[in-house]
Amino acid sequence: MIGLFWLILVLFSGSDEDIPPTLEDFWEGRAEWVMDIEDVGLPVGESDTVNMGDGVFWSYLHASYESAYVVDQCGEPVAFPGCLTRWESTDGGETFTLPAAVCLIPCDGCPCQDVRDHHGWDVYGNRAAAQQYPRVFFAHDEVYLVYEWHAQTILRRSNDGINWSDWVYLRTPGGTWHSDFSPCTDIERIGSHPNIRGEIHNCLVGAPPGIYVEGDMIYVFVAAGSAPGHMRCYKGNRHQPLNQLQLCDHDPLFSGAVEYGPVDLLGAAANPYFDFRYVSSAEVVRVGDYYYMAYEGIRGPEELEIGMDTQFGLGFARARVIDGEWEKFPGNPVIMDMGFNWGIGHADIVIVDGITYLYTATSQQTRGRYVLRWVGASG
């Protein structure tokens, strides 16, 4: 029916360019991402944006007192990087505001505790917050949430996208751990990095996650291993306990670059190695015969022991079978070359009336919106 609708449009308009391009057109080189709005009002970082209909958008992101004056239900300022918040737009996703600068999920008591509530006081007496990198999926009868807590993958459910169930781990062990505690596979192994020394742990399953629901099945996407990084998924019946998901049929779905590359490469020259250290933050949509994924690739520090990941990129991948083998987009990374823009890899794809939008960092200071347009199209 959709194909017939577009065919009718072509016949009456006389031009294919009157039809919005799709992710398939982007993949085939016929369309490109163009900045639509430089700043939509969301804090720089990571969000997941949902079209609620009638021009209303919700955007879930982690925010703190530092980024948006967020406090917890006990009235205490939330430490960076923050807790889950829900932002709203009533103008079709052009501008967002925070209705209440309070963590969306209440703590089980006051004061909030990091281990119990994923933000608040930690075991060392310090304020901590790591309820971060949220992804949500609205099924017809239930809403699902996945986020990272200290590299662990956490899942919850909801009936309305506002009130959430208690949490469960995706798997145990998860996050980062040492193989002396529990063995890990080669895919889960943290390998050597030319600019990093002294890793405490050597196994990883977690980091910024992704989620997708189709019918009764739920799929959760996580990073597995590092240097090189891999994209892994777990699946299961979404009506069953969410901590009983099983490894997907193909593991990994795909892998990052196999090497860091020459250590002196920066910017565009480093693009071929953009996803060497980490592959994570999956955003998955289905268009036509393919599932498309936007994901974050991190090459890692450009200098020895710099202490932070200074080279980030946004990649795409696709597959005909969601838990099968995925192919990476040959033009990765997209939108911008490798550099210190730590929000670029956390992208939200929203398709409205056939128009494909992408929310991600437009600079180190702003989070904005891109739109998919035909190559060479004006305006």
Residue with tokens 């990649």: 315
- Domain holding 72, by residue range, is 47-167
Q: Where are the alpha helices (DSSP H) in 14-64?
A: 23-27
Instruction: Note whether 305 and 367 are same-domain residues.
Output: yes
C-beta separation of 326 from 318 below 8 A: yes
Q: What is the pLDDT of residues 185-222, one digit of tens each?
A: 999 999 999 999 888 999 999 999 999 999 999 999 99
Instruction: Note whether 183 and 207 are same-domain residues.
Output: yes
Instruction: Note whether 267 and 353 are same-domain residues.
Output: yes
What single letter denotes the amino acid at residue 309?
A: D
**Domain-ending residue, one of 167, 189, 204:** 167
User: What does DSSP assign to residue 117?
Assistant: H
Mean pLDDT confidence for 222-226 = 98
Confidence of residue 377 (pLDDT cuts 50, 70, 90): confident
According to the model, what pLDDT value does residue 130 have? Answer: 86
35: tokens are 């900045």
Instruction: Note whether 205 and 343 are same-domain residues.
Output: yes
SS3 304: coil
Lowest mean pLDDT among 125-139, 156-170, 215-229, 276-290: 125-139
CA dihedral 213→248→289→284, nearest 10 degrees, is 50
Q: What is the pLDDT of residues 250-276, one digit of tens each?
A: 999 999 999 999 999 999 999 999 999
Instruction: Note whether 2 and 63 are same-domain residues.
Output: no
Instruction: Note whether 211 and 335 are same-domain residues.
Output: yes
Q: Which of 130, 129, 131, 61 is nearest to 89 (CA)?
A: 61
* CA distances to 116, 130, 205, 236, 255 from 173, in Å: 17, 18, 8, 19, 21
Which residues in 215-270 belong to E strands, given as ranges? Answer: 217-224, 230-237, 246-247, 254-255
C-beta separation of 170 from 243 below 8 A: yes
Q: What is the pLDDT of residues 306-348, one digit of tens each?
A: 767 789 999 999 999 999 999 999 999 999 999 999 899 999 9
Which stretch of DSSP H or E encloses residue 13?
A: helix 2-13
**Domain-ending residue, one of 167, 196, 211:** 167
Q: Where are the alpha helices (DSSP H) in 28-147?
A: 65-68, 114-117
Lowest mean pLDDT among 88-102, 136-150, 168-182, 301-315: 301-315
According to the model, what pLDDT value does residue 17 have? Answer: 65
**Model-level pTM greater than 0.85?**
yes
